Structure 1
Amino acid sequence: MRTRGSESLIVLPLLPVFLIGVFPMLLLSLLGPAGLVILGILIASAGLTDILDANGTFSEQVIVHGYARGSERTGQRTALRSEIRFASVMIAAGVALAVTGIGGLLIS
């Protein structure tokens, strides 16, 4: 049994994954461990930006809406903590990549 469609259409859904992965692959292949350091710094910077944005949003809600009810404050604090937790994981991953890249530079 043959299908009439092209078999190359099977890989079409993987195109976005490839396009996202091209930058790190080129960065690592062209720069080596230094590219790993740069990628780690970029990821850590994105995590720090996310923490600052979460704190700004929380402060804005407190300033604009004033003293909220307990349930609203609990929801706001929970949202702030979850965003900070995720951003902390991003920072830790970025630092790990940067340390690995520095170790690779020292070895080579």
Structure 2
Amino acid sequence: MRRQSESLLFLPLLPIFLAGMFPMLLIGLLGFFGLALFGVLLICAGLACGNEAHDTFHHDVIVHGYARGPERAAQASSMHAATRLGLRMEAIGAAMVIAAVIGFFYAG
């Protein structure tokens, strides 16, 4: 019997490699400007995450009306969890921008 090539095991990892290739090239080719640009993109993604959480909550309130206590608490908890995730992404993005500015002035 013929054995399958072991390189086929790496095929499922190809999308992860392709998705991670863009930020690495961005940082590697553009230097501190690339790091700052990646931080700005993270800030935008965090803002979008927070806005989407609020939009979903308000959509449920407008379409279905105010729910009973436990259901409303679950919706609010879900919104707060998504908002906290967005705030963390914004903080990481801001830290990347600050690190890029410090690195630019320190190394440049």
Q: Normalising by the residue count of structure 2, what TM-score does the alignment of the two structures yield?
A: 0.90
**Cα displacement string for residues 56-88 of structure 1 (whole angstroms, at most 9, x for unaligned residues):** 111111122222211111111111011011111
Question: Offset at 1:10?
Answer: 2.6
Match of 2:37 in 1: 38
Q: Within 5 A, what are the aligned runs for 1:1-108?
A: 4-107=3-106, 108=108
Give percent identity, aligned residues only: 46
5+ long unaligned stretches in structure 2: none
Provide, for residues 27-58 of structure 1, a one-character-per-residue CA deviation record: whole Å limited to 9, x for no partner: 01110010000000001111001111111111
With normalisation by structure 1, the TM-score equals 0.90
Runs of 4+ in 1 over 2 A off after TM superposition: none
Q: Which runs of 5+ in 1 are unaligned?
A: none
Aligned residue-pair number: 107
Q: Distance in 2 between matches of 1:50 and 1:8?
A: 37
What is the letter of the counterpart of residue 31 of structure 1? L
Q: CA deviation at 1:92?
A: 1.1
Higher relative contact order (Cα pairs below 8 Å, separated by 6+ residues): 1
